[in-house]
A and B are shown apart, each in its own frame.
Chain A
Amino acid sequence: MDSFLLQVTAGLANGGIYAAVGLALVMIHQATHHINFAQGEMATFSTFIAWAMIQAGVPYWLAFVATMVVSFVAGLLIQRIFLKPVEKAPILTNVIVFVGLLVIFNAFAGWIFEHTIKSFPSPFPVEGMFLAQYFSGHQIGSISVTLVVLLSVFCFFRFTPLGLAMRAAAFNPESARLVGIRVSWMLALGWGMAALIGAVAGMMIAPIVFLDPNMMAGILLYGFAAALLGGIDNPWGAVVGGVILGVLENILGAYVIGSDLKLTMALVLIVTILIFRPYGLFGKPIFSRV
């Protein structure tokens, strides 16, 4: 029984990781209606920047905030420079740009920071604040951070005028322009915020999985799955999706099919859920008029 609970709580902790990445993807999708395949590599690169600052002696929270700022600006610039030219182009052209960015970030991370794993510090105490035999301090801390990010994203889109403007710009750029929304800048802002969230996710994940250029490779897929499971437009969905995915993956892997088919299981899960609820668990179907 104890081991079952351990599997569940390990799954919850993993789920928090997937949820964090999923949130960044939801952010970008809400702002631009695209899925950014380079999200993982950008988050890894941000984490490396934080690591470099900490190595140079910068205190943790200062490095944390500085990385958030740098990532925000970088995300904004990337949208302005690389994505604006293909704003009106078909989806696949955008996908090519994402793939190009993915490859470039990964290559630079490997070139500048090398491939040995690096440990990344955690700002939280080692012992769990509660339920210590199931959760480490960092796991509780990072889940809390994820929830804070979730609330912020949700409130931002729901309650602020800027959030509304961003959603409008993504849904209907033409009409949005007519009411005076600077669509292009909305997209750039969306990218900046997604990059910021991604950096936070990376800094929460690195202490657990260790930092190396390929850190996000597997996690990104799970992050996608979490976001889509929950409904790509719904930040709550990303978190719930992440948790479900994490727990189910562990339970199935431990008791049903064995760990050598875990990834396959994630795939089957994704496809199955999407067959019955193509817009995710909490997503709203989008109807288009003829």
Chain B
Amino acid sequence: MKKSNHIKSLFAVVALTSASFGLNAQPYDPGATDKEIKIGNTNPYSGAFSAYGSYGKAQAAYFKKINDDGGINGRKINFISMDDGFAPPKTLENARKLVEQEKVLFFFATLGTAPNTAIHKYMNQKKVPQLFVQTGASKWGDPKNYPWTMGWQPNYISEGKVFAQAILDNQPKGKIALLYQNDDSGKDLLIGLEQGLGAKKDMLVARETYEGTDPTVDSQIVKLKASGADIFIHGSGPKFAAQSMKKIAELGWKPTQYVWQVSSSIGAVLTPAGIENTVGLITSAFSKDPSDPQWKTDKAILEYEAWFKKYLPGADPTDSFYIQGYMNAQTVEYVLKQAGNNLTRENIMKQAASINDFRLPLLLPGVNVQTSATDFYPIERMQLARFDGKAWVLFGKTYGD
């Protein structure tokens, strides 16, 4: 009698102990369960930068499709995106809410340099991955000091260098004028240009900035024309790039024009500017533009368009931010797939830092996603393209590593 009681109690103890360790011995950090993975970010859905909210909307729509198709490794994605209006204090408040209250597993594609800077230290202190930061600023790839933060797209310093290289190759005696956004992105482009030009830095004869609140940049364009430059670089946001292209044509000025990737959408920028004014424009690209007829029958683009119709009905298909949000979400999907059932933050970070030659279908053929323990810049390659009135025709080699 006593022995069976002992056995029963021993059994009970063992059972209880196993139960307290969880019937499933999967390694999970907050936000991960058998059924769900909770992830989050902030975007400016309101305020002066609300145009960038399209990134977040695309990401939400993408994960909706993933969930409709069964989720990742049997788990649904619970994606929470909060509005910070591009104000760093709000970004921090939202980040703390998502980490401390909602208990998300990790962040990805938080938008903007200032917002990401506001939470940079916090995320690393709390050891929560801050993945695929949605800004082209160059400081996010610093694994030694900030092992939990990683960039995503080619940064603007690289782009500036590529433009400089192309100019040195094709117009070594040219004079360059630059209109750039008065923020860190625009300044990074300028830094890249100057670095790329090296000893021939004074080829850059004129530079002007503008504020988002400026009604037009006509005055800046007139001033830049007066410098006698024969090369013009657009480092301005979509609205102002379109205005600039139009004004340059109105003034009868015909410089060789370069435009950075931010404002290179055929539908959103070149068409309003006037197609006839934009033939010959050069940009650097790393992904396929859906409004570009050369990709009309491309499988990845067709898939994108089908998704767009179903999950973003009524949205503007010429908005290039949607496709970037989509690709960023796809990168996250890849990392989660690689992580399998080991959903700790440490493993997520490990998987993100070991992406080997992943070819996102919407990336240009020569471009890949590549990271390592010392390389926290996932996408670095880009190619030059020239606008022929209908499409961005790629030319030259693929830059970057």
Residues of A within 8 A of B222 (CB): 3, 6-7, 10, 250, 254
- Asked whether, in the complex, the Cβ of A217 is within 8 Å of the Cβ of B213, the reply is yes
Q: Does B239 contact A (CB under 8 A)?
A: yes
- Asked whether, in the complex, the Cβ of B319 is within 8 Å of the Cβ of A3, the reply is no
The complex places the Cα of A118 from the Cα of B51 at a distance, in Å, of: 12
Residues of A within 8 A of B251 (CB): 6
Residues of B within 8 A of A114 (CB): 315-316, 319
What does the 1/0 interface line of B207-227 toward A look like (CB < 8 Å)? Answer: 011111111101110110110
Q: Does B243 contact A (CB under 8 A)?
A: yes
Q: Which of A91-99, A155-163, A207-215, A271-279 contacts B (4 or more CB under 8 A)?
A: A207-215
Residues of B within 8 A of A254 (CB): 219, 222-223
Q: Does A110 contact B (CB under 8 A)?
A: yes
Q: Does A249 contact B (CB under 8 A)?
A: yes
What does the 1/0 interface line of A195-226 toward B look like (CB < 8 Å)? Answer: 00000000001001110111001110110000
- Asked whether, in the complex, the Cβ of A218 is within 8 Å of the Cβ of B212, the reply is yes
Instruction: Name the interface residues of B208-265: CB closer than 8 Å to any CB of A.
Output: 208-216, 218-220, 222-223, 225-226, 238-239, 242-243, 250-252
Residues of B within 8 A of A218 (CB): 211-215
Q: Does A141 contact B (CB under 8 A)?
A: no
Residues of A within 8 A of B252 (CB): 133
Q: Which of B208, B222, B225 is most buried by chain A, counting CB atoms within 10 A of its CB? A: B222
Residues of A within 8 A of B271 (CB): 119
Q: Which of A205, A262, A263 is most buried by chain B, counting CB atoms within 10 A of its CB? A: A262
Residues of A within 8 A of B216 (CB): 10, 14, 208-209
Given the known inter-chain contacts A209-B215, A262-B211, please indicate yes or no for A115 contacting B225, CB distance below 8 A: no
Instruction: Name the interface residues of B240-297: CB closer than 8 Å to any CB of A.
Output: 242-243, 250-252, 268-269, 271-272
Q: Does B356 contact A (CB under 8 A)?
A: no
State the main secondary structure of chain A at its contact with B.
helix
Q: Which residue of A lies closest to B241 (CB)?
A: A117
Residues of A within 8 A of B50 (CB): 110, 115, 213-214
B243 → A minimal CB distance (Å): 7
Residues of B within 8 A of A115 (CB): 50-51, 53-54, 319
Residues of A within 8 A of B269 (CB): 117
Q: List 10 A-B contacts (CB under 8 A).
A: A10-B216, A14-B215, A115-B51, A116-B54, A117-B272, A118-B272, A208-B216, A222-B215, A259-B208, A259-B210
7 A-B pairs closest in CB distance: A218-B213, A119-B272, A3-B226, A115-B51, A250-B219, A10-B218, A116-B319
Q: Knowing that A14-B216, A254-B222 are A-B contacts, what are 8 other residue pairs whose CB atoms are under 8 Å apart, sorted by A's residue number?
A: A3-B225, A7-B223, A10-B222, A13-B218, A115-B53, A209-B216, A209-B239, A259-B208
